[in-house]
Amino acid sequence: MYDTIVIGAGLSGMLAAIGRAERGEKVLVLAKGHGATHWSTGCIDLLADVDDPLAGIAQLAIQRPHHPYALAGPAMIEQGIARVRTIGEAADYPFAGNLNRNLLLPTALGALRPTAFAPATMIAGDARQLRDGRPTLIAGFAELRDFFPPLIAANLRAQGIAAEAAQLALPPTQRQHDFSSVTLARLCEQPAFRANLGEQLAAHVRKGGYARIGLPAILGLRHATAVVRDLQNRAGALIFEIPTLPVSVAGMRLYQILEDELLRLGGRIQLGGFVQRAEHIGDTLVAVFSEAAAREQRHTARHWVLATGGILGGGVRATPEGYLYETALALPLQTPDGRAGWFAPRFLDEHGHPVFQSGVRVDQRLRPLDAAGRLVYENVQVVGGALAGYDPIREGCLEGAAIATGWAAGQA
Amino acid sequence: MQTLSTDVLVIGGGATGTGCALDLAMRGIRCILVEKGDITHGTTGRYHGLLHSGGRYVTKDPQSATECAHENAILRRIMPHCIEQTSGFFVITPWDDESYGDVFVTNCHRTGVPVQEISVAEMLRREPALNPRISRVFEVHDGSADSFLATHSVALAAREYGAEIRTYHNVVELVRVGDRVVGAIVEDLRSGERIRIDCTYVLNAAGAWAGKIAAMAGVTVTVVPGKGTMVAMNHRMVNTVVNRCKLPSDGDIIVPIHTVAVIGTTDVHVPDPDVFGIEPEEIQFMLDEGEKLIPGFRQYRALRAWAGVRPLYKDKDVASDRDIPRTFKLLDHEERDGVSGILSIVGGKWTTYRLMAEQTVNELARRLGNTQPCRTASEVLPVPRFEHRAHAMVTVSPDPAAQTPHYWLGKPLALVESEHAAGDLICECELVTRDRIIAAIDAGAHNLDDIRRDVRMGMGPCQGGWCIYRTANLLYERRCADGLSHTHANEAMLHFLQERWKGLTPVLWGDQLRQARLDELIYAGVLGIHRLRALAEPGGGLVTQHPAIATEYVQA
């Protein structure tokens, strides 16, 4: 019997688990697999398209009282982020940024993306610095099919940044195939590979006088800060990473430091356990059953946190007939009325698609409610993407809302 | 205005028009083909890929059945690289009339469609996923055909024989002098330039759009645009084409083609071939029908839905649109409407495109005093360059398994493993390598949708999540020296994302809905492509936005 079982190993679940473990609880994270963290940028987005995220959130909380930020409250946002930053510092993977001012970091297309906090390995790419007129080099490998310097540089130039592009030669390796971002990240932790890379970068700097070099976010998996530091010394220029397509190395690092912290605090993680049904007595959740290795396993706990994500994370699924359901506990969902209202005609519609705001409605303590507003389980809290009424991707609050609600559930 | 002159101006770059251009060129008749989109932009690129045995038409449309059986054998000979010899079953399920089986066999014999009854045990041995409650099975010579590749091969041959093929050229006016059509004004959609083409004959091969073209000459051709909706499922649950043994109706055929199985089709009359939607009920109905053939059909992942518009020609009152004969008709507008210099070829189906071209060109040749015979039934078609290597693998592999007539995903995979670094795999779902995409770009693909039609990039489960980004970058790197700018590359991505979205929304549930959300995370989240909208514009040879080719599905 655990004190708390967290279902889901994404950002919100890990924060809830860390919070509870820190208070001395016996905690298990039970998940089907890794969460959406592995697909995201590795940055902490609080709120896009505002200058001051914290002020934007305060306004949002007034306008939309059911938004996860409104439910978590400003204290939980600040404390949750502070906790992630402390974990990062201790792991030599610090995050830089500000609650009151968004950074603007280049994407792998050369767009400038607002985010509140970024790992130190990315911070030199902030557009305010890039616009100082000194030349920036965007460099990659032809073998990496998820990063193309010429278009990034061209789009940056169109936005007033003096950027140029170059392809680097892949340093000699044993491997013939599959230079994925993860493979390259592991190679970057080998001194010989890094030395070769450093020489090439230094040659470019000597020739082009670059003040900064943007590289794909593949600079190490467990020791990224050290890798970047070493490459900067060798190249004689500032280096910044640019997040690549999933699988995202920077996202994996963020997950990894949280996992290390949870294990350090005595928590447990069980992946490969797909929670598919629950057992309850009245409004108390008693046990869940997970499918794993062709058998069902029963898990019991006093308190539960549902952190399975929304449609992206797999916590909410749709049937061909147009019915949406919550996969783990069969909680009631708040969804658009009818399939006809699920999608906007344009894929990149600025308001997003209503179906992706489907999720669980909760009370002020994040406990699940049914359509009539009655409490479903008194000992369950719902966090992150599984919550209804917001679009974490289009609002640019994916990590912020996950951290705020996850941290709130870790404290209650 | 630039003026060109030719013997025959062919309008329409589908299977029929392209086939006519080849036949004309082979006989030494000068011709120019104009198509408002890409080759196969219309109905040819939007069908399920069935190479008809003729079985579907033996009862209601015996002439079509005979034509199909005849052409089926010819196409297998002249385009082996486009056809997978799947074979086909007509099966009687518990929902079908038992007595139709004998009628079907009799009518097959009568129309010359080869057929053989096999046992249900034999059927289940070959296709274990089929419904064991099926009571009778008839095997026919169905196959599946890559209509994109086939039409490209025909176009390539036509060019080699001297035909001029102009894609993204839209007819804006037919020039009439008195009662004679003497040419056309066409607009190059890439540059906006107008060109006058003088000709002895205009051949209207615009398929579902033939009525619109005919109207420009002041004559009436009633084409009933019959919308057929199809759904691609992410598994080849069968390797044989499976038809319900009954009179043709909705959702009664499953065609395995490349990596997917396509279930089709519906038949809904639409007023305009450019404006139609896909109704959720159509999709649900087809999934239900799929269950009758393959229990558990609904559990497979639906990849995308699309609709093509059948060019059915209605020349007299017929009860329902499905009763309109599927055979084709050559209309002589001089005799019919008193307007000379223009012929229309209407109706028909992909399987009979070559025969349609032969009969049409016979008539044109006679009028032009050309006595060369038709040779399209005997000359094997060339393989486009972007298919060279993938195709070579099919025939030269020492591995006996690779020699099977079935498309086998292992073939391209073996090629990738033996000759490429895996980093060269740009579209992982369809195993499309970097060199094939570059060959398609070099062959003149104008945008990502053209590349998709050439090499199937973006047609797998991820629906372009990764490969849209990669391919747009390759397009930019390959053509930036020719003036393709970053604004065009950005536009190419935005355009293709929206094109894919149209086919996705009707089938978004389960994993495919989750995939759509992941694609939104990639493009709106990680890449922030919407932030580049101000830095996106058509041009640089991309043809992405023009009212003449913008088929917008109406939201259901």
Question: Has residue B555 got a pLDDT over 50?
Answer: no
- The Cα B60–Cα A43 span in angstroms is 63
**Three-class secondary structure assignment of B488-501:** HHHHHHHHHHHHHH
A195 and A256 share one domain: no
Q: Flag if B510 and A346 touch (Cβ within 8 Å).
A: no
A396 and A265 share one domain: yes
Residue A174, CA distances (Å) to A182, A290, B197, B413 in order: 16, 41, 60, 22
Least confident of A20-24, B406-410, B452-456, B522-526: B406-410
Rg (CA), chain A: 22
Query: What is the CATH number for A171?
Result: 3.40.50.1860
Q: Does A352 reside within a domain?
A: yes
Among A107, A244, A320, whose Cβ lies nearest the Cβ of B509? A320
- Counting Cα atoms < 13 Å in the Cβ hemisphere of A37 gives 29
Alpha helices in B223-270 (DSSP H): none
Give the model confidence (pLDDT) of A93-129 as tens digits.
999 999 999 999 999 999 999 999 999 999 999 999 9
Q: What is the pLDDT of residue B397?
A: 41
Of A190, A187, A137, A189, the closest CA to residue A167 belongs to A137
Q: Is A312 an 8 Å CB contact of chain B?
A: yes
A383 and A262 share one domain: yes
- pLDDT band (50, 70, 90) for residue B111: very high
- The Cα B490–Cα B243 span in angstroms is 43
Q: Omega into A286 within 30° of 0, i.e. cis?
A: no
What residues contact residue B74 under an 8 Å CB cut-off, 6+ apart? B354, B377
A203 and A272 share one domain: no
- Running DSSP on this structure, what letter comes out for residue A174? S
Q: Flag if A40 and B423 touch (Cβ within 8 Å).
A: no
B-interface mutation test, from A115, A333, A347, most B Cβ less than 10 A away: A347
Chain B residues with CB under 8 Å of A109 CB are 469, 490, 527-529, 532
Q: Is A128 an 8 Å CB contact of chain B?
A: no
**Furthest C-alpha separation in chain B:** 68
Class of domain B52-143+224-312: alpha beta
Q: Omega into B265 within 30° of 0, i.e. cis?
A: yes
Query: What is the CATH number for A281?
Result: 3.50.50.60
Give the model confidence (pLDDT) of A389-399 as tens digits.
999 999 999 99
Q: Does A391 reside within a domain?
A: yes
In a 3-state reduction of DSSP, which class is residue B40?
coil
Q: What is the pLDDT of residue A177?
A: 66
Q: Does A203 reside within a domain?
A: yes
CATH of domain B2-43+148-221+326-368: 3.50.50.60
Considering only residues B502 and B75, tell me which one the structure prediction assigns the higher pLDDT: B75
Q: Does A110 reside within a domain?
A: no
Q: What is the pLDDT of residue A158?
A: 97
- The Cα B531–Cα B521 span in angstroms is 14
Question: What average pLDDT score do residues B240-266 get?
Answer: 92
Question: What average pLDDT score do residues B28-40 get?
Answer: 96
Pick the last residue of a domain from A242, A271, A291.
Answer: A242
Q: How far is A119 from chain B (nearest CA, A)?
A: 15
A323 and A187 share one domain: no
Question: What average pLDDT score do residues A290-302 get?
Answer: 90
Residue type, B126: R
Window 444-473 of B: residues touching A by CB (8 A cutoff) are 466, 469-470, 472-473
Question: Has residue B322 got a pLDDT over 70?
Answer: no
For a pLDDT cut of 90, what percent of chain B falls above it?
A: 72
Question: Has residue B540 got a pLDDT over 50?
Answer: yes
What are φ and ψ of residue B328, in 5° steps? -105, 170
A230 and A260 share one domain: no
- Running DSSP on this structure, what letter comes out for residue A37? G
Q: Searching chain B, which residue's CA lies closest to the CA of residue A143?
A: B423
- What is the domain range of residue A324? 2-93+252-411
Place of tokens 């046990």: A287
Considering only residues B534 and B324, tell me which one the structure prediction assigns the higher pLDDT: B534
Pick the last residue of a domain from A219, A242, A265.
Answer: A242
- pLDDT band (50, 70, 90) for residue B228: very high
Give the model confidence (pLDDT) of A270-287 as tens digits.
999 999 999 999 999 999
Q: Does A113 reside within a domain?
A: no
- The Cα B191–Cα B2 span in angstroms is 13
Q: Does A117 reside within a domain?
A: no
In a 3-state reduction of DSSP, which class is residue B336?
helix
Give the pair of three-digit tokens for residue B182. 């003497």
- pLDDT band (50, 70, 90) for residue A11: very high
A258 and A235 share one domain: no
A400 and A257 share one domain: yes
Q: Is A394 an 8 Å CB contact of chain B?
A: yes
Beta bridge pairs of residue B175: B183
Of A222, A96, A218, the closest CA to residue A168 belongs to A218
**Pairing state of beta strands B88-92 and B302-313?**
unpaired
Pick the last residue of a domain from A210, A242, A274.
Answer: A242
- Running DSSP on this structure, what letter comes out for residue B373? P
- pLDDT band (50, 70, 90) for residue B423: low
Mean predicted lDDT score pLDDT of chain B: 90
Q: Does A367 reside within a domain?
A: yes
Residue type, B242: V
Q: Does A118 reside within a domain?
A: no
**Domain range summary for chain B, segments of one domain joined by +:** 2-43+148-221+326-368, 52-143+224-312, 386-553
Chain B residues with CB under 8 Å of A353 CB are 520
A67 and A27 share one domain: yes
What residues contact residue B377 under an 8 Å CB cut-off, 6+ apart? B74, B77, B78, B354, B358
- Counting Cα atoms < 13 Å in the Cβ hemisphere of B125 gives 5
State how many domains chain A has. Answer: 2
Give the model confidence (pLDDT) of A182-237 as tens digits.
999 999 999 999 999 999 999 999 999 999 999 999 999 999 999 999 999 999 99
Give the model confidence (pLDDT) of A43-97 as tens digits.
999 999 899 999 999 999 999 999 999 999 999 999 999 999 999 999 999 999 9
In a 3-state reduction of DSSP, which class is residue B53?
coil
A62 and A169 share one domain: no
Among B434, B498, B528, whose Cβ lies nearest the Cβ of A109? B528
Q: Is B418 an 8 Å CB contact of chain A?
A: no
Instruction: Classify B369 in phi/psi space as left (phi over 0), alpha (psi -120 to 50) or beta.
Output: left
Q: What is the pLDDT of residue A44?
A: 98
Q: Is B532 an 8 Å CB contact of chain A?
A: yes
A238 and A257 share one domain: no
